[in-house]
Structure 1
Amino acid sequence: MELPVWFEVGTFVVLGVLLIADLLIVTRRPHEPSLKESGLWVSFYVALALVFGLAMLAFAGGQAAGEFYAGWLTEYSLSVDNLFVFVIIMARFAVPRQYQQKVLMIGIIIALVLRGVFIVIGAAAIERFSWVFYIFGAFLIYTAIQLVRSHGQDEEYEENAFIRRMRKVLPISEDYDGSKLRTTVDGKKLFTPMVIVLLAIGSTDLLFALDSIPAIFGLTQSPFIVFTANVFALMGLRQLYFLLGGLLDRLIYLSYGLSFILAFIGVKLFLEALHTNTLPFINGGEHVDWAPEIPIWLSLTVILGTIAIATVASLVRSRQLERRGEQPHAVEDLTDRRKSVTPGAFERGGDGGGSGSGS
């Protein structure tokens, strides 16, 4: 795949400007966006990704465009799943609604930086060691199994060892001071609970990057497509957080859909590795010609179909449960959680719940 240099440079410039503009909007006017505002922004970013895919089609051909769309859809689906954890973190730490936009934006920037690092490492590993596909494939299949096994369990944010350590080391105030990271209480400089929230979001982003990068490298080996697909998947994520709202509770089969997608990509990675490996214990060190190749159009079809089936099945099942007077359990009832958690829990070591072993 050969793309004009001006196209790649122009893409990064436009994406950078959009991200900076988004950050300035959040910084200057912290608020909880309305459904209309969130819907317009999400529609804009989705339309932008679709147009970018058409540009890839024009400049690089159908294969590159298909890889971008497949990667973007996969990363977008994983990003929606990430929102479940963000919702729980926001409720766990009782973040005021008007400041959640800023937390989400900082979390997105952290995610972009971490994924950029993992993309560079992953691309270098693939370039040098073809057998790394086996590791990526095994990791994705393992993640898929874990998603299925954890389905239906009550979601609860468990602080990892790093967050628990920061609680003990940093002097933290009991209450928020707007969106500030530092405040003064009785003449003493303290960190606000916002610091712990951002550390929790950042450490969670690290785990998400470990899932998402192997997944997209199973669809394309182009670092440019990998990075742009990740950027487009993350842009608009904070608006999507407010747009979906209670709909997150109804996506009860999303984890099944994602587990199938990750397992499918994991198998695809294994098959591709069989075509390129030179390991002595596999086919005597020779390439395996009989291993089938999964074309990108088939990957795109499987991803689209899985997302559609999981979404429709979730909404149908949720409606059935509501008619019977039951509540969907994709995410716990966060209204009650917000009432039961107070910012003062930071000083008490997290009495609001969820202070378990490291995740």
Structure 2
Amino acid sequence: MNVTPLVWIITIAVTIAFFVYEFFAHVRKPHEPSIGESARWSAFYIGLALLFGVGVGAVSGWTYGGEYFAGYLTEKALSIDNLFVFLIVMTGFAVPKIYQQKVLMIGIVIALILRGGFIAVGAALIQNFSWIFYIFGALLLVLAYRQAFSGHESNPANGRFMGLVRRVLPVTDEYHEDKLTVRKGGKRFVTPMLLTIIAIGFVDLIFAVDSIPAIYGLTDEAYLVFTANAFALMGLRQLYFLIGGLLERLVYLAQGLAVILAFIGVKLVLHAMHVNELPFINGGEPMLWAPEIPIWFSLLFIGATIAVATVASLLKTRGDRAPVLEPTDASAGGLDEGVVDAPAASSPTSSAEGRR
């Protein structure tokens, strides 16, 4: 796939423009989005992502188009998993609903920046060291196991990392609108809003470890990796408000994602065997007998797995919906004592603490 520097520049500029527009048009003025607003913009961004994939297929061939769609589906599923942890974080920090858009927007931008860095590093490694596919494959198999059997969902707001942040930074015990810092008695304090953003940024870093090796198992084209991630993150803010209550019903999402990660992990190991150069494996010769999983099969497998996990979850929780987590009083969280007393949360998704 031939992607010129100009195409890269235009793509990155358009991506930045979309997020700038999002901020000034929707996020700058604090409000809780309506279901209608969230649905319209979610449909717009999903439609835009699908249209881009069709364009890739028409211009560069449907092999690349299939790789993009497989990557987009995988990244979107992982992003929905990410949303659940965002929900846990904002509940733990008792973020008022009218300010949640700003937290989400900043968190999504941080996620895109971190993934962009991982994409660049991953592309350089793949180009120079074919054996990295063994590492990526093994990593995904480990992450798949953790995803499937993590069990209890810990609250990142109460994790060891945030405990360290609270010991270092002076924290107020209440929100001051959407300000990140505030001056009290001649001393500068950070607000719970800044702590929330730090926690979400930390979660983004953990999720990038899952995301980038997974999509590099579907395509080695850095441009497709970047665009699939960008489109998966676009509209994620609106999707949060659209399916917030539905998130807790996706009880088999973790297992579905575990199956997908394990599948891609096996695909990476098989590809590594096919391009093997390690002298202590098969004498440094490629194992051409190792099967290569075609992209059309990957696309069908990922789509079917997501569909089965979603339908099975909704059938399992039909008539047995768990109550939606509601933010509690910020002052009750004891932030000035360095601890947020959030209710223990149990969820089907993997814990952010367990991914470290």
Normalising by structure 2, what TM-score? Answer: 0.92
Could you say if the C-alpha distance between residues 196 and 275 of structure 1 is closer, same or farther in structure 2, counting changes exceeding 3 Å? same
* Amino acid corresponding to residue 272 of structure 1 in structure 2: H
* Amino acid corresponding to residue 83 of structure 1 in structure 2: L
| 1:257 partnered with 2:246 | no
| 1:346 partnered with 2:335 | yes
Counterpart in 1 of 2:237? Answer: 238
54-63 or 2-11, which deviates more: 2-11
Gaps of 5+ in 1: none
Distance 2:9 2:62 in 1: 21
| 1:82 partnered with 2:71 | no
The structural deviation recorded for 1:340 is 6.6
Counterpart in 2 of 1:201? Answer: 200
The structural deviation recorded for 1:188 is 3.5
The structural deviation recorded for 1:147 is 1.1
In 1, are the aligned partners of 2:91 and 2:328 still within 8 Å (CA)?
no
1:271-310, Cα deviation, whole Å (9 max, x unpaired): 0000111112221211001101111111000011101111
Q: How does 1:288-299 map to 2 (within 5 A)?
A: 288-299=287-298
In 1, are the aligned partners of 2:156 and 2:199 still within 8 Å (CA)?
no
Same amino acid, percent of matched pairs: 51
Counterpart in 2 of 1:20? Answer: 20
Distance 1:31 1:343 in 2: 23
| 1:64 partnered with 2:53 | no
- Secondary structure of the structure 2 residue equivalent to 1:269: helix
In 1, are the aligned partners of 2:156 and 2:353 still within 8 Å (CA)?
no
- Secondary structure of the structure 2 residue equivalent to 1:189: strand
| 1:29 partnered with 2:20 | no
Counterpart in 1 of 2:325? Answer: 334
Counterpart in 2 of 1:157? Answer: 156
Distance 1:234 1:261 in 2: 19
Distance 2:264 2:85 in 1: 23
In 1, are the aligned partners of 2:130 and 2:272 still within 8 Å (CA)?
yes
1:195-216, Cα deviation, whole Å (9 max, x unpaired): 1111100111000001100000
Q: How does 1:1-359 map to 2 (within 5 A)?
A: 1-3=1-3, 7-151=7-151, 153-157=152-156, 159-319=158-318, 322=319, 326-328=320-322, 333-335=324-326, 338-339=327-328, 342=331, 344-353=333-342
Distance 1:262 1:318 in 2: 24
Distance 1:351 1:86 in 2: 16
In 1, are the aligned partners of 2:133 and 2:268 still within 8 Å (CA)?
yes
The structural deviation recorded for 1:9 is 3.7
- Secondary structure of the structure 2 residue equivalent to 1:334: coil
In 1, are the aligned partners of 2:30 and 2:98 still within 8 Å (CA)?
yes
Could you say if the C-alpha distance between residues 190 and 73 of structure 1 is closer, same or farther in structure 2, counting changes exceeding 3 Å? same
The structural deviation recorded for 1:171 is 1.4
Distance 2:154 2:306 in 1: 22
Distance 1:273 1:343 in 2: 53
The structural deviation recorded for 1:185 is 2.8
In 1, are the aligned partners of 2:41 and 2:235 still within 8 Å (CA)?
yes
Distance 1:94 1:181 in 2: 15
50-59 or 86-95, which deviates more: 50-59
* Amino acid corresponding to residue 348 of structure 1 in structure 2: E
Could you say if the C-alpha distance between residues 228 and 154 of structure 1 is closer, same or farther in structure 2, counting changes exceeding 3 Å? closer
1:150-207, Cα deviation, whole Å (9 max, x unpaired): 24x3553364443222211211111100110111334433211111111100111000
Gaps of 5+ in 2: 345-351
Normalising by structure 1, what TM-score? Answer: 0.91
Distance 1:133 1:2 in 2: 23
In 2, are the aligned partners of 1:141 and 1:262 still within 8 Å (CA)?
yes
The structural deviation recorded for 1:358 is 6.2
* Amino acid corresponding to residue 235 of structure 1 in structure 2: M
Could you say if the C-alpha distance between residues 341 and 303 of structure 1 is closer, same or farther in structure 2, counting changes exceeding 3 Å? same
In 1, are the aligned partners of 2:173 and 2:330 still within 8 Å (CA)?
no
1:306-348, Cα deviation, whole Å (9 max, x unpaired): 01111111111111xx2xxx445xxx7513xx33764652112
- Secondary structure of the structure 1 residue equivalent to 2:328: helix
The structural deviation recorded for 1:11 is 2.7
Counterpart in 1 of 2:348? Answer: none
13-22 or 109-118, which deviates more: 13-22
1:251-282, Cα deviation, whole Å (9 max, x unpaired): 11111110000000000000000011111222
- CA RMSD of superposed structures (Å): 2.0
Could you say if the C-alpha distance between residues 297 and 80 of structure 1 is closer, same or farther in structure 2, counting changes exceeding 3 Å? same
Could you say if the C-alpha distance between residues 61 and 68 of structure 1 is closer, same or farther in structure 2, counting changes exceeding 3 Å? same
In 1, are the aligned partners of 2:92 and 2:157 still within 8 Å (CA)?
no
- Secondary structure of the structure 1 residue equivalent to 2:293: coil
Distance 1:258 1:286 in 2: 33
